[in-house]
Amino acid sequence: MEDAVSVRESFAAAGGEGRCDYYGVFDGHGCSHVAEACRDRMHDILAEEIAEPAAAWTGAMERSFARMDAEVSSPSVAAAASTCRCDAHKCDHVGSTAVVAVVEDRRVVVSNCGDSRAVLCRADAPAMALTSDHKPDRPDELARIEAAGGRVIFWEGARVLGVLAMSRAIGDGYLKPYVTAVPEVTVTDRTDHDECLILASDGLWDVVSNEAACEVARACLRRGRDKWCAEAATLLTKLALARRSSDNVSVVVVDLRPTARKQ
């Protein structure tokens, strides 16, 4: 298991704008220690970045991902890697996706690097993807990789230099600059029709569509149980496994209903 999940409610002051919650899903590859480092540190780094006066979300997210990328590339992380199953001398061959969401009273801010995904479920509306998977054959990503002097080789799917099946990630120093840690950031205004936010690694999205995931979450919501988000996350994980997902599956479901925010 190389995935890691982080949930930090009221993790930081939101510039005087009320409650500010943090959620993250990190899908490691090569070993688990980069995903675990993101789980343990990303929220602290982000809290420091948004504490600056007049800090904009896009800039704060980009700086946080850059700092996290630098941390996992440091010698101390290489030393820590010697205690896990990977070879410390190949620490720069390890990386992780990162999809991070900050939920404010008025907005949902999502930052993504890799092929984990965030989907917003809104009543009477199609499922709304708040991220776009960073696959090497995505036209703009392919152009960026080739402009940097890299190549995308098709070997059981599109891969950077024939190795990595995503074009952005934290870590993976041996593939820079073709694989970058620069995230894409979206800021979405909340409405009274918002139901939930689903964050998950590609172990879910490889076999479950955005719409199907929202329908599972809505079915749990309609049951009216207190812990329907946990139930939805469990059911989505079981559904992915039943459909024979070949990857680790990690799912977080966040209640976005206005009444939930008042609790």
99 located within any domain: yes
Task: Give me the domain span that covers residue 21.
Answer: 3-132+185-256
pLDDT score recorded for residue 163:
95
231 located within any domain: yes
User: Above 70 in pLDDT, residue 82?
Assistant: no
* Location of structure tokens 């009477």: 124
Name the residue with higher pLDDT: 73 or 12. 73
Report the distance separating Cα 44 and Cα 192, nearest Å: 30
Q: For the chain, how many structural domains are there in total?
A: 1
pLDDT digits 0-9 by tens, 13-70: 655 456 799 999 999 999 999 999 999 999 999 999 998 776 799 999 999 999 999 9
144 located within any domain: no
171 located within any domain: no
Please state the φ and ψ torsions of residue 182, each to the nearest 5 degrees. -75, 120
174 located within any domain: no
Q: For residues 211-222, give the mean pLDDT.
A: 96
235 located within any domain: yes
Report the distance separating Cα 181 and Cα 69, nearest Å: 7
145 located within any domain: no
pLDDT score recorded for residue 52:
76
173 located within any domain: no
User: Above 90 in pLDDT, residue 76?
Assistant: no
pTM, two decimal places:
0.92
Residue 259's pLDDT band, with cuts at 50, 70 and 90, is: confident
Report the distance separating Cα 216 and Cα 121, nearest Å: 11
Residue 145's pLDDT band, with cuts at 50, 70 and 90, is: very high
Residue 101: which CATH number?
Answer: 3.60.40.10
SS3 call for 43: helix
